[in-house]
């Protein structure tokens, strides 16, 4: 009989005035049929009823912190510093696991006794009612390495689950794309990655925030230059432009 490993997952939700969307996220975590889960909520000092929702489920949440922070990635660093699981999963308010047995399916997809350094899979975009909108445009590659992200963020941050022991702090110099940099830094250390071939996450599709879109693209360009070098990054971006024109 095959004995599957039983890793412990630290699921971290960062919130700030997220009362409208938080409850579905919490329920998707606490209804998981896989029980080796530590749930952490890091709140930035919400004033809108977010904490009322959190307290309704308080007995199912391992840790709640509510205090001002220096933004999203600072809050994520706080959650990471307190996590005790084998793997980290960042699930934003509004996002949820694809099924009640997503974690169980992911664990069952692991072969052998040794746990991979990164577990990953696909992401589905959903609307506020949780209805399917479309699959994420960038698909997870069969083999994920640090070079994969030269093509963009092929795996959604929420569907990228690294071993906690490999995860560095988010670099707070990046306001919009620190997760992109974080994933690349983890993959540079990772010896093994595992594609679950599952849809892991339902991601709330709120459309592109155009206000931050340009700043985030510039940041991503800087990150790619840092990891992949200037010439390669420049050539890849020239290709992105050509590809966008061809697709029109």
pLDDT, tens digit, 9 for 90 and up, residues 151-198: 888 899 999 999 999 999 999 999 999 999 999 999 999 999 999 999
Q: Count structural domains, the chain.
A: 1
Q: 43: closest CA among 28, 22, 20, 57?
A: 22
Angle formed by the axes of helices 210-228 and 230-247, nearest 10°:
140
Q: Is residue 39 part of a domain?
A: yes
Residue 114: phi, psi to the nearest 5?
-85, 130
pLDDT band at 1 (very low <50, low <70, confident <90, very high): very low
Q: Per-residue pLDDT averaged across 224-230, rounded?
A: 89
144 domain residue, yes or no: yes
User: Which CATH number do you get for residue 111?
Assistant: 3.90.550.10
Q: What pLDDT shows up at residue 241?
A: 62
Q: Which residue has the tokens 């941050």?
A: 157
In a domain, 190, yes or no: yes
Residue 44 within any structural domain of the chain: yes
Residue 2 lies in a domain: no
Which residues, 6+ apart, have CB-to-CB distance to 242 below 8 Å? none
| Model pTM score | 0.90
Average pLDDT of 226-247? 73
Q: Which residues of 164-175 are buried (b: 16+ CB within 10 A; e: fewer)?
A: bebbeebeeebe
Residue 223: its H or E element: helix 210-228
Q: Could you read off the pLDDT of 9-26 as tens digits, one per residue?
A: 999 999 999 999 999 999
SS3 230: helix
Domain span at residue 112 reads: 9-247
Q: Give the pLDDT of residue 136.
A: 85
Average pLDDT, the chain: 90
Structure confidence at residue 51 (pLDDT): 97
Model confidence at 207: pLDDT above 90: no
pLDDT of residue 150: 87
CA torsion 153-156-159-160 (nearest 10°) is 30
Candidates 176, 186, 248; CA nearest to 217 is 176
What pLDDT is recorded for position 108? 95
Is 3 among the domain residues? no
Please report, rounded to a whole number, the percentage of residues in the chain having pLDDT higher than 70. 91
Comparing 7-21, 86-100, 145-159, 195-209, the range with the smallest average pLDDT is: 195-209
Q: How many helices, marked H, and strands, marked E, lie in the chain?
A: 7, 9
Say how far apart CA 44 and CA 130 lie, in whole Å: 25
Q: Are 11 and 25 in contact (CB under 8 A)?
A: no
> Residue 17 and residue 24: Cα distance in Å, rounded?
15
Would you say residue 4 lies in a domain? no
């Amino acid at each position: 009989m095959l004995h599957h490993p039983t890793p412990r997952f630290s699921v971290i939700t960062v919130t700030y005035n997220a009362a409208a969307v938080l409850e579905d996220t919490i329920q998707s975590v606490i209804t998981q049929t896989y029980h080796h889960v530590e749930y952490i909520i890091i709140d930035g000092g919400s004033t809108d009823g977010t904490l009322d929702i959190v307290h309704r489920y308080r007995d199912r949440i391992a840790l709640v912190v509510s205090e001002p922070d220096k933004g999203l990635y600072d809050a994520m660093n706080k959650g990471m510093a307190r996590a005790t699981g084998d793997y980290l999963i960042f699930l934003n308010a509004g996002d949820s696991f694809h099924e009640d047995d997503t974690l169980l399916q992911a664990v069952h997809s692991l072969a052998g006794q040794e746990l991979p350094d990164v577990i990953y899979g696909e992401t589905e975009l959903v609307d506020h009612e949780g209805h399917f909108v479309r699959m994420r445009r960038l698909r997870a590659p069969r083999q994920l390495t640090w070079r994969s992200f030269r093509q963009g963020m092929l795996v959604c941050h929420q569907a990228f689950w690294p071993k906690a022991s490999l995860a560095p702090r988010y670099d707070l110099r990046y306001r919009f794309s620190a997760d992109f940099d974080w994933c690349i830094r983890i993959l540079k250390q990772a010896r093994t990655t595992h594609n679950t071939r599952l849809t892991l996450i339902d991601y709330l599709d709120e459309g592109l925030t155009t206000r931050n879109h340009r700043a985030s693209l510039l940041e991503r360009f800087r990150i790619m230059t840092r990891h992949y070098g200037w010439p390669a990054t420049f050539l890849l971006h020239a290709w992105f432009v050509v590809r966008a024109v061809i697709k029109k």
